[in-house]
């Protein structure tokens, strides 16, 4: 029987005073058998996030607060993996914008050991607190918004190529170079490609699904998905991977609506029909989600899905055009140059 390994739980954070306390409390392993430390990497919070963590660390010395000068999640996890205790064998990446099921950390350790894999990923169920956030969550939990992403819909554990990052064998994570810190978004999918190329396997554990709190405004949602689309384009160019069908759909929607509106203004209202059908389908899908969940907030899922589709596609095209027309054709993040 294997002995319990030492685990480092890494929590990147930035202005998360509303969520950080519950996130940490749900991550702390129960019982005394698991040797762990919990490192919060703060990217320069201007709210009460740091003071909350500092107060929690006084009650539990295994919690420690560190700085993340680069601010991005990718840099935070890399730094956490480096500064973790020397005896730490497993690193766990945890979002401060989430809550975790009972026994989450111990379950990840068990899955890593029993499956003999380099990475364990988990399913993610988005949920909200207010009306708009619940509507955005409904969109992200449905095919209307997520397009069938496996870590959003999977109910059975299995080997996968990508998922929501949760646990890594520390030695392997460091050996492949950790996250590419020039990526501000989609760094997880990019790392998974390198992990699979190195011959390692990834296990999706659906039983350890986490609860995630989405953005609570349409503006913040649009910015997030624009960045997601740009990050996905960078990953595809870097590794010369063609997009999947579900990733092509938002691009098709954006192109269809642009052509529909342009043709409608020039040739008459009939040309608006494709866009009207799309809008009606999204709004109808939101109404269906509202009725299914018996929550009127589901009606906001339709507008949320439309924002997600168009923002993702715009971000993807922005990055693709930037790479295509750059003189040296290098895939370099704008943020990395600042």
Query: Are 203 and 57 part of one and the same domain?
Result: yes
CA 143: distance to chain centroid? 16
Residue 76: phi and psi, rounded to 5, are -65, -45
- Whether 286 contacts 139, CB under 8 Å: yes
Domain enclosing residue 259, as ranges: 236-337
Query: Are 145 and 262 part of one and the same domain?
Result: no
Q: What is the pLDDT of residues 146-164, one digit of tens each?
A: 776 666 666 788 999 888 8
Query: Are 277 and 201 part of one and the same domain?
Result: no
Structure tokens at 185: 């978004």
pLDDT at 148: 64
pLDDT at 330: 45
Query: Are 148 and 282 part of one and the same domain?
Result: no
Token look-up 């994570």 returns 173
CA dist list (Å): 306 to 171, 224, 254 = 41, 14, 10
- Whether 143 contacts 282, CB under 8 Å: no
Query: Are 70 and 149 part of one and the same domain?
Result: yes
- Whether 46 contacts 15, CB under 8 Å: yes
Considering its fold, how many domains does the chain have in total? Answer: 2
Q: Which of 63, 78, 70 is nearest to 24 (CA)?
A: 63
Length of the chain: 338
pLDDT per residue rounded down to tens, the chain (338 residues): 456 789 999 999 999 999 999 999 999 988 767 899 999 999 999 999 999 999 999 999 999 999 999 988 999 999 999 999 999 999 999 998 888 999 999 999 999 999 989 999 998 888 888 999 999 999 999 988 877 666 666 678 899 988 889 999 999 999 999 999 988 888 999 999 999 999 999 999 989 989 888 999 999 999 999 999 999 999 998 988 888 888 889 999 999 999 998 998 888 888 999 999 999 999 999 999 999 999 999 999 999 999 999 999 999 999 998 877 774 444 444 333 33
Neighbours of 264 (CB within 10 A): 17
What does the DSSP 8-state code read for residue 128? -
Q: How far apart are CA 7 and CA 92, in angstroms?
A: 7
pLDDT at 151: 65
Please indicate, yes or no, if residue 300 is contained in any of the structural domains.
Answer: yes
**Domain CATH for 94:** 3.90.550.10
Q: How far apart are CA 107 and CA 200, in angstroms?
A: 20
């Amino acid at each position: 029987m294997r002995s319990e390994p030492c685990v480092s739980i890494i929590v990147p954070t930035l202005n998360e005073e509303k969520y950080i306390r519950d996130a940490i409390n749900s991550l702390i392993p129960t019982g005394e058998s698991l040797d762990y430390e919990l490192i919060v990497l703060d990217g320069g919070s201007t709210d009460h996030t740091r003071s909350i963590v500092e107060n929690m660390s006084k009650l539990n010395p295994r919690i420690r607060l560190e700085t993340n000068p680069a601010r991005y999640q990718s840099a935070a996890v890399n730094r956490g993996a480096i500064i973790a205790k020397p005896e730490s064998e497993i690193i766990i990446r945890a979002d401060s914008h989430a809550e975790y099921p009972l026994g989450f950390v111990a379950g990840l350790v068990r899955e890593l050991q029993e499956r003999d894999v380099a990475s364990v990923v988990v399913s993610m169920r988005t949920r909200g607190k207010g009306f708009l956030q619940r509507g955005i969550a409904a969109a992200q939990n449905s095919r209307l918004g997520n397009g069938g992403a496996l870590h959003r819909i999977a109910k059975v554990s299995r080997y996968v190529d990508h998922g929501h990052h949760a646990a890594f064998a520390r030695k392997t994570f460091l050996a492949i170079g950790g996250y590419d810190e020039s990526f501000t978004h989609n760094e997880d999918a990019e790392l998974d490609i390198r992990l699979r190329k190195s011959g390692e396997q990834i296990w999706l554990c659906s039983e350890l699904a986490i609860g995630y709190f989405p953005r609570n405004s349409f503006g913040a949602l649009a910015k997030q998905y624009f960045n997601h689309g740009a990050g996905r384009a960078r990953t595809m160019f870097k590794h010369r991977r063609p997009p999947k069908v579900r990733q092509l759909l938002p691009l098709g929607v954006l192109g269809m609506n642009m052509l529909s509106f342009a043709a409608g203004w020039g040739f008459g209202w009939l040309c608006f029909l494709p866009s009207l059908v799309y809008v009606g389908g999204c709004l109808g899908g939101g109404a269906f989600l509202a009725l299914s969940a018996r929550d009127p907030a589901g009606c906001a899922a339709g507008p949320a899905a439309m924002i997600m589709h168009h923002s993702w596609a715009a971000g993807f095209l922005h990055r693709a055009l930037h790479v295509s027309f750059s003189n040296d054709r290098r895939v370099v993040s704008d943020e990395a140059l600042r």
